[in-house]
């Protein structure tokens, strides 16, 4: 039996990289103190998210970093024996990407470029073109960046690649077009939780969902970090406040238990699935 403590963070990050690094350091220290072997930080934790999804200002974009940048190396050094997933704006040379890296003291373990871009992001970022699971000291992991988890195929691709843990990094705001008077009544708040639980349950995997909090430009972020078990049950959560959701789970044993009778991956019927009607 191999028990892993997983921490998912809800926290605010902005354009000041030194501020962001200090917050990352504090969250890593807190997660380590809670015994976590895996910490999932929010999307855009290094440099902040876009300030306006409808009309992003090209002169006010997050700082772009290469995966081997000294800033990411500092996060890896802070991670040391832990595995830490963190979001950033990637400098891809002739394009920018909304990206995430998974690091430990050994360096970069995995990289994901957000594949599904909402309308506003297409003015600032190019889309990624793949979903790949990778091995880490905490287990085999696949990463999703906020809007990616809206699409069932994203998480299913990672599960088919052997991912046992989905790290979902988000900068997910309340509804931009139809805000509710209370966050709990917001449509995006309900969808955020629904997607987290559905993606875990339909693939029978563990899911760690982080998110930004606070305000950036015209957007208010939801928080609602959580760890979800392979049955879709929420094991720990932060609600809308900043903090860490920490859960202890024997990942392999719980996945085996969830798949003992109904094994969703093995019982698929790809021969009858159609993208368009015949």
Q: In the chain, what are the domains?
A: 4-272 (3.60.110.10)
**Side-chain-side CA neighbours of residue 145 (13 Å):** 31
Alpha-carbon distance 143 to 43, whole Å? 11
**Confidence class for position 277, pLDDT limits 50, 70, 90:** low
**Confidence class for position 265, pLDDT limits 50, 70, 90:** very high
DSSP assignment string, 42-56: PTTTBT---S-SSS-
Section 138-151 average pLDDT: 98
Per-residue pLDDT for 276 more than 80? no
This prediction has a pTM of 0.96
Q: Under a CB-based contact definition with an 8 Å cutoff, are residues 263 and 244 in contact?
A: no
Task: Express each pLDDT in 13-71 by its tens digit.
Answer: 999 999 999 999 999 999 999 999 999 999 999 999 998 887 778 888 999 999 999 99
Q: Give residue 36's pLDDT.
A: 98
- Nearest CA among 127, 133, 146 for reference residue 102: 133
Which residues are within 8 A (CB) of 113 and not within 5 positions of it... i.e. 6 or more apart? Answer: 90, 92, 97, 98, 99, 126, 127, 128, 129
Q: Give residue 258's pLDDT.
A: 97
Section 118-137 average pLDDT: 95
**Confidence class for position 278, pLDDT limits 50, 70, 90:** low
Alpha-carbon distance 56 to 69, whole Å? 25
Alpha-carbon distance 265 to 211, whole Å? 28
Q: Give residue 202's pLDDT.
A: 98
Lookup: tokens for 163: 């991912």
Which residues are within 8 A (CB) of 159 and not within 5 positions of it... i.e. 6 or more apart? Answer: 142, 166, 203, 204, 205, 265
Q: Under a CB-based contact definition with an 8 Å cutoff, are residues 104 and 141 in contact?
A: no
Alpha-carbon distance 66 to 54, whole Å? 26
Q: Beta-strand (E) ranges in 146-270?
A: 165-169, 206-209, 211-212, 215-216, 219-220, 226-228, 234-237, 243-250
DSSP 221: B
């Amino acid at each position: 039996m191999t028990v892993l403590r997983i921490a998912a963070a809800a926290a605010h990050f902005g354009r000041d990289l030194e501020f962001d690094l200090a917050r990352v350091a504090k969250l890593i220290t807190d997660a380590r103190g809670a015994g976590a072997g895996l910490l999932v930080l929010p999307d855009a934790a290094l440099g902040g998210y876009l300030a306006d999804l409808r009309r992003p200002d090209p002169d006010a974009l997050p700082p772009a970093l290469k995966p081997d940048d000294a800033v990411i190396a500092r996060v890896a050094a802070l991670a040391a024996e832990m595995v830490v997933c963190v979001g950033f704006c990637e400098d891809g040379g002739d394009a920018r990407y909304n990206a995430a890296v998974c690091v430990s003291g050994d360096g970069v373990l995995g990289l994901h470029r957000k594949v599904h871009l909402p309308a506003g992001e297409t003015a600032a970022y190019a889309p990624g073109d793949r979903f790949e699971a990778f091995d880490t000291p905490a287990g085999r992991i696949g990463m999703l960046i906020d809007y990616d988890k809206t699409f069932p195929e994203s998480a299913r691709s990672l599960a088919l690649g052997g991912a046992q843990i989905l790290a979902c990094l988000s900068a997910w705001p309340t509804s931009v077009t139809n805000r509710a008077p209370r966050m709990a009544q917001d449509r995006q708040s309900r969808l955020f939780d629904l997607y987290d639980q559905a993606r875990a349950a339909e693939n029978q995997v563990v899911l760690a969902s982080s998110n930004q909090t606070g305000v950036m430009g015209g957007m208010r972020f939801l928080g609602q970090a959580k760890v979800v078990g392979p049955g879709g049950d929420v094991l720990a959560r932060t609600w809308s406040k900043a903090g860490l959701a920490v859960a202890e789970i024997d990942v392999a044993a719980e996945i085996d238990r969830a798949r003992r009778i109904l094994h969703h991956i093995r019982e698929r019927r790809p021969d009858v699935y159609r993208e368009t009607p015949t």
